[in-house]
């Protein structure tokens, strides 16, 4: 849409109710963390679902000069060259919509419900295709959202490239939910 950069302080990563451990592992890899630090991200909420243990030692995915301090479900990564990110891990969220509203960028599996919730809030969205799903219907949705310039489409291998070049997309225009009802009323002669 333009070459304007996004101001990203808080990121919400969601796998929904699906098993998508690879997305969480990708977010916690050194290359992605470096990019997040360069983007000046301060906090990442990881909604991990049932495929990930909250008590899991996330530091096993970090294999270079980062110190890790664990405090329940929060892990702070500090890069000696500068930058610090707090990762908060949760299985599921009761306040899902509120979490979307409070974050500057959403990185999500390609579930239709999640994508629509994010688009309705006009939040920047990176849709990550879970390539391990059989008969992957999510690919079509993710690619169409990107073609319509509403979201970025990625897989775990290309996520770092998308993050490096993240820019604003077109705003999602919510349609009139009463159009069909009005049309039926008109067809039936009620109006």
Q: Is residue 147 part of a domain?
A: yes
Q: Is residue 180 part of a domain?
A: yes
pLDDT tens string for the chain (191 positions)? 445 778 899 999 999 888 898 999 899 888 898 899 999 999 999 998 877 665 454 544 443 334 444 444 666 776 666 778 888 888 888 899 999 999 999 999 999 999 999 999 999 999 999 988 767 778 999 999 999 999 999 999 999 999 999 998 988 988 888 888 888 888 999 88
Q: Is residue 27 part of a domain?
A: yes
Q: Is residue 3 part of a domain?
A: no
Q: Count the domains in the chain.
A: 1
pLDDT at 53: 61
- Using DSSP bridges, classify how beta strands 84-90 and 43-47 pair: parallel, antiparallel or unpaired: parallel
**Residue 76 belongs to what domain range?**
10-187
Q: Which H or E element spans position 89? A: strand 84-90
Q: Is residue 50 part of a domain?
A: yes
Q: Is residue 164 part of a domain?
A: yes
Q: Is residue 81 part of a domain?
A: yes
Q: How far is CA 93 from CA 17, 18, 38, 112, in A?
A: 11, 14, 28, 17
Q: Is residue 86 part of a domain?
A: yes
pLDDT at 1: 46
Q: How far is CA 112 from CA 12, 104, 169, 189, in A?
A: 17, 20, 18, 35
């Amino acid at each position: 849409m333009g070459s304007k950069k996004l101001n990203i302080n808080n990121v919400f990563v969601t796998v929904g109710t699906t098993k998508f451990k690879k997305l969480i592992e990708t977010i916690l890899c050194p290359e992605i963390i470096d990019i997040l630090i360069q983007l000046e991200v301060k906090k990442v909420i990881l909604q991990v679902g049932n495929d990930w243990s909250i008590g899991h030692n996330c530091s096993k995915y970090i294999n270079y000069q980062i110190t890790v301090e664990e405090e329940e479900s929060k892990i702070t990564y500090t890069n000696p060259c500068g930058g610090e990110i707090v990762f908060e891990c949760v299985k599921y969220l009761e306040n899902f919509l509120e979490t979307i509203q409070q974050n500057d960028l959403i990185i999500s599996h390609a579930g239709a419900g999640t994508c629509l919730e994010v688009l309705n809030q006009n939040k920047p969205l990176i849709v990550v295709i879970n390539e391990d799903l059989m008969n992957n219907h999510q690919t079509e949705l993710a690619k169409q959202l990107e073609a319509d310039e509403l979201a970025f489409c990625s897989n775990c291998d290309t996520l770092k490239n998308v993050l490096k070049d993240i820019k604003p997309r077109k705003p999602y225009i919510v349609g009139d939910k009463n159009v069909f009802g009005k049309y039926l009323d008109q067809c039936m002669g009620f109006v």
